[in-house]
Amino acid sequence: MTRTYYRPLGLCYGSDAERLIASHRAGRLGGHGAIGYTLVELIRRDGKSIDRDIIPYTNALQAIETPRGGFAGLAMDVPAIMGIVNVTPDSFSDGGQHSTSEAGVSHGLALAADGADILDVGGESTRPGSDAVAVEEELSRVIPVVRRLSNAGHVVSVDTRKPAVMREAVTAGAAIINDVSALQHDPDSLRIVAELKVPVVLMHAQGDPRTMQLNPHYDDVALDVYDQLEERVLACVQAGIPRSHIAVDPGIGFGKTFRHNLELLSQLTLFHGLGVAVLVGLSRKGFVGALTGEKDAGKRVHGSVGGAVQAALNGVHILRAHDVKATVEALAVAGAATDPRSTEF
């Protein structure tokens, strides 16, 4: 069976985008008003055979252009920043610096002050080679932090694979569930998320954290990840989760080689075809260090920010980041350069 995919190309920004969109020569990338696309890579796949052609913009691609509604009350017309709050003793990125409840809350509040729109609280490390954490232990780590940050008025997401943690975290005030297994780790996850009626982030991962980097393989990484995320989106919709409550994450670094990660970053616009918000989390990951030569994950700020800007210019709606202030400032400059009217002095 032949499958067809559409990858937006020929991106334009600001007044250029608005003018071309108004004249029906460009479409809105991922529903963004200030990012347009003028060309489309038409991809046809039949088994292992893949044909690619570049065609002019066509207005028939509604999934790409449909505005993404408010995600947990947040507008998706500019990138939202998801600040990372790891309440774990074995995080790859910060060495467990924020592993106590007090430290986690303090760090979350600091990220919010730096400009984070979402605070993503996680109590189980999913770094390559990591082992699972018991439900009770994960609950003891995340619930106090979720409760205090949400009570302080912040939009909080819970980074978990476990339905019991999802339910308790939402009860404590979490507004978003962020699941690295795309609701596949536990058979009850789909039903629980549908019942909780909160937005969910579906991340792609090949294998579980303990084994995912042993020998990842894809026929075509971008198309394979797209297909698997499409299956998960459809499973959510069939379970009663509306599309407006779904975001997808291609899962940079989760069961991917260095080359796979770069291929995904170079083809991010493909994922707008799923018709939902797109999240990218590449902050401080190993492939960033491989590109920059920085072995210390905590010092991969500049490379991480560069990747975040590239993702934003490709219409990504949510950027998951450790270094929120640096990311916010870089996006302010990139945004002003692509649309000078958006900045007032």
13 and 104 share a domain? no
189 and 212 share a domain? yes
- Overall number of domains in the chain: 2
Residue 246 lies in a domain: yes
Two tokens, residue 27: 């479409």
Say if residue 92's pLDDT is above 70.
Answer: no
* 185: CATH: 3.20.20.20
First to last CA, the chain: 55
39 and 106 share a domain? no
59 and 138 share a domain? no
Residue 75 lies in a domain: no
136 and 190 share a domain? yes
User: Is there a catalytic annotation at residue 256?
Assistant: no
Say if residue 280's pLDDT is above 90.
Answer: yes
Average pLDDT over all residues of the chain: 93
40 and 153 share a domain? no
112 and 27 share a domain? no
Instruction: Say if residue 47 is exposed, middle or buried (CB neighbours under 10 Å; 0-12, 13-18, 19+).
Output: exposed
For residues 316 and 278, is the Cβ–Cβ distance under 8 A?
A: yes
221 and 278 share a domain? yes
| Integer Cα distance of 114 and 107 in angstroms | 11
For residues 16 and 92, the model is more confident at: 16
Least confident of 48-52, 129-133, 182-186, 338-342: 129-133
Average pLDDT for 313-336 = 97
Contacts of 136 (CB under 8 A, 6+ apart): none
- Catalytic hit among 68, 147, 300, 320: 320
Cα 338 to the center of its chain, rounded Å: 22
Inter-CA distances, 256 with 94, 224, 302, Å: 22, 12, 22
Residue 70 lies in a domain: no
Query: Minimal CA–CA distance to 20: which of 7, 39, 38, 41?
Result: 38
Identify the domain boundary among 65, 89, 104: 65
166 and 93 share a domain? yes
Residue 74 lies in a domain: no
Residues 293-309: pLDDT tens digits? Answer: 999 999 999 999 999 99
| Integer Cα distance of 225 and 205 in angstroms | 9
Unique residue bearing structure tokens 């707008």: 272
Residues 209-246: pLDDT tens digits? Answer: 666 566 789 999 999 999 999 999 999 999 999 999 99
54 and 143 share a domain? no
| Res. 36 pLDDT band, cuts 50 70 90 | very high
| Integer Cα distance of 214 and 261 in angstroms | 15
- Catalytic hit among 141, 285, 300, 325: 285
Cα 247 to the center of its chain, rounded Å: 7
pTM: 0.94
Residue 258 lies in a domain: yes
Question: What is the domain range of residue 330?
Answer: 80-342
For residues 50 and 101, the model is more confident at: 50
> pLDDT value at position 125?
80
167 and 37 share a domain? no
Unique residue bearing structure tokens 């029906």: 24
Query: Minimal CA–CA distance to 225: which of 12, 1, 7?
Result: 7
User: Is there a catalytic annotation at residue 320?
Assistant: yes
Residues 115-143: pLDDT tens digits? Answer: 999 999 999 987 666 677 899 999 999 99
Say if residue 58's pLDDT is above 70.
Answer: yes
198 and 237 share a domain? yes
